[in-house]
Amino acid sequence: MKKTTYNPFETAQNQFDHAADLLELDHATRDFLRNPMREYHFTIPVLMDDGKVKVFKGYRVQHNDARGPAKGGIRFHPLGTIDTVRALSMWMTWKTSVADIPLGGSNGGVICDPHHLSRNEQEKLCRGWVRQIVKNVGPFSDIPAPDIMTNAQHMLWMLDEYEVILGKRYPGFITGKPIEMGGSQGRREATGYGVIITVREALKELAIKPENTLASVQGFGNVARNAIELYHRMGGKVICVSSWDENDHCSYSFQKKDGIDLNELKSIADSFGGIDKMKAQELGYELLPGEAWLEQEVDILIPAAIENQITEENVKKINRRVKIMAEGANGPTTTEADKLLKESDIFIIPDFLANAGGVICSYFEQVQSNMNYYWDKDEVFGKLDAKMTSAYISVSDFSKANELSMRDAAYVISVNRVAQACHDRGWV
């Protein structure tokens, strides 16, 4: 029987086990790294606009902080689970490690649907999240950041609550802040741009000119939009994007064979990255089922929505023309699908390498906030490009030298660095 539900933490642990086998890690180190070091589960009561109190479930999971303070997003999602948070925290440990920045990995969130929360309720939820976890996070222990359905305003409310409680200014407590309030130039673009920097390097290796390529993207949020913007500037053409439709509770793909217009689609999308299907059709986009983005006759696929989207069932629908898949989302490919992809000719740029631009720029933001001195956009993008390119080249060189897939190479490099830090500290 084929699986119909996927647990992202199982995927993350399977990937880790494989890396641990390749590295021949000892039993204790395996046991230690296979699970998060700390988990906090809590409830957040919020006085809603209708005068009733609603209790939300909140989490923070710190997978590992051997290489530096933990760092990770906060996701607001109705379908969030503790296992999603565990998986994201583990992937973040490998991400900061492969990017070679002095941070560990964490993740957190609240089970909620911001589509149905007023601004006032969202503010209370953000402040409530901080009140419950204030003792266990901070600029030198665990630094939160935005993720799905959280944004700069949420981060600012959280920062304000943290500073009010502690009675001092700690701009380095959180990243993804509004630029005028201590955010970094370029943070908004960093993840999507980083994805395309890795695509640029992969195209170079495959001797393909970007201007001769077509791409299809899953998602139309922060990562997808910025990836599309830079890819278009490199000369490529995106012919399909997909997004979640909140009214119909399913996803749709929007296809335009002669290339999508990014600004036009942005103008008919909501702040959560959902595209208005009626308006899109009026503008000449063909409305297709949610999974159609995967079946496009393109050179590059960019899953940039959510985890577990490429599965054993749909992986066979990927068009034979596809040469590169750059995983913008965290964990978009299940273990079973990844095995099948390894047998194909598709060059996979694994998630924690492809989307590391976000945490790299968050690290830059933290450094700037702690110094209280800020860089201009060109300086940020220059440093981002250098870090992403160097991470990509290290993984690519290692993969060729050891005849490993890019995912296995990235895992071996990053797990090894973290294991070494744990050994050096005398933890295991």
Interaction of residue 214 with ligand NAD, rule CB under 6 A:
no
Interaction of residue 221 with ligand NAD, rule CB under 6 A:
yes
Interaction of residue 328 with ligand NAD, rule CB under 6 A:
yes
Subset of residues 364 to 383 that bind ligand NAD, contact rule: CB under 6 A? none
Interaction of residue 61 with ligand NAD, rule CB under 6 A:
no
Among 89, 184, 222, 369, binds ligand NAD (CB under 6 A): 222
Kindly indicate which of the ranges 7-15, 121-129, 254-262, 326-334 contains the residues binding ligand NAD, using the contact rule CB under 6 A. 326-334
Interaction of residue 185 with ligand NAD, rule CB under 6 A:
no
- For ligand NAD, the closer of residues 20 and 223 by Cβ is 223
Interaction of residue 105 with ligand NAD, rule CB under 6 A:
no
- For ligand NAD, the closer of residues 149 and 384 by Cβ is 149
Interaction of residue 93 with ligand NAD, rule CB under 6 A:
no
Kindly indicate which of the ranges 26-34, 57-65, 196-204, 302-310 contains the residues binding ligand NAD, using the contact rule CB under 6 A. 302-310
Q: Which residues pair with 216 in a beta bridge?
A: 240, 301
Interaction of residue 406 with ligand NAD, rule CB under 6 A:
no
CB of 352 to ligand NAD, least distance (A): 9
CA–CA dist 173, 129 (Å, integer): 14
- Phi, psi at residue 317, to the nearest 5°? -85, -5
Per-position x/- string for 229-258, each x denoting binding to ligand NAD as judged by CB under 6 A, each - no binding: -------------xxx------x-------
- For ligand NAD, the closer of residues 224 and 413 by Cβ is 224
Interaction of residue 104 with ligand NAD, rule CB under 6 A:
no
Are 226 and 193 in contact by the 8 Å Cβ rule? The answer is: yes
Which position's Cβ is nearest ligand NAD?
221
CB of 70 to ligand NAD, least distance (A): 15
Strands 53-64 and 105-111, sheet pairing: antiparallel
Interaction of residue 128 with ligand NAD, rule CB under 6 A:
no
- How many other C-beta atoms can be found within 10 angstroms of the C-beta atom of residue 227? 31
- For ligand NAD, the closer of residues 361 and 421 by Cβ is 361
Among 223, 325, 337, 348, binds ligand NAD (CB under 6 A): 223
CB of 86 to ligand NAD, least distance (A): 14
- The 3-state secondary structure of the chain, one letter per residue: CCCCCCCHHHHHHHHHHHHHHHHCCCHHHHHHHHCCCEEEEEEEEEECCCCCEEEEEEEEEEEECCCCCEEEEEEECCCCCHHHHHHHHHHHHHHHHHCCCCCCEEEEEEECCHHHCCHHHHHHHHHHHHHHHHHHCECCCEEEEECCCCCHHHHHHHHHHHHHHHCCCCHHHCCCCCHHHCCCCCHHHHHHHHHHHHHHHHHHHCCCCHHHCEEEEECCCHHHHHHHHHHHHCCCEEEEEEEEECCCCEEEEEECCCCCCHHHHHHCECCCCCECHHHHHHCCCEEEEHHHHHHCCCCEEEECCCCCCECCCCHHHCCCCCCEEECCCCCCECHHHHHHHHCCCCEEECHHHHCCHHHHHHHHHHHHHHHCCCCCHHHHHHHHHHHHHHHHHHHHHHHHHCCCCHHHHHHHHHHHHHHHHHHHHCCC
- Based on the number of CB atoms within 10 Å of its own CB, is 209 exposed (0-12), middle (13-18) or buried (19 or more)? exposed
Per-position x/- string for 137-166, each x denoting binding to ligand NAD as judged by CB under 6 A, each - no binding: ----------xxx-----------------
Among 101, 304, 348, 422, binds ligand NAD (CB under 6 A): 304
Kindly indicate which of the ranges 26-34, 167-175, 272-280, 342-350 contains the residues binding ligand NAD, using the contact rule CB under 6 A. 272-280
- For ligand NAD, the closer of residues 29 and 358 by Cβ is 358
Among 111, 273, 302, 408, binds ligand NAD (CB under 6 A): 273
Interaction of residue 89 with ligand NAD, rule CB under 6 A:
no
* Chain positions contacting ligand NAD, by CB under 6 A: 147-149, 191, 218-224, 242-244, 251, 272-274, 290, 304-306, 328-330, 355, 358
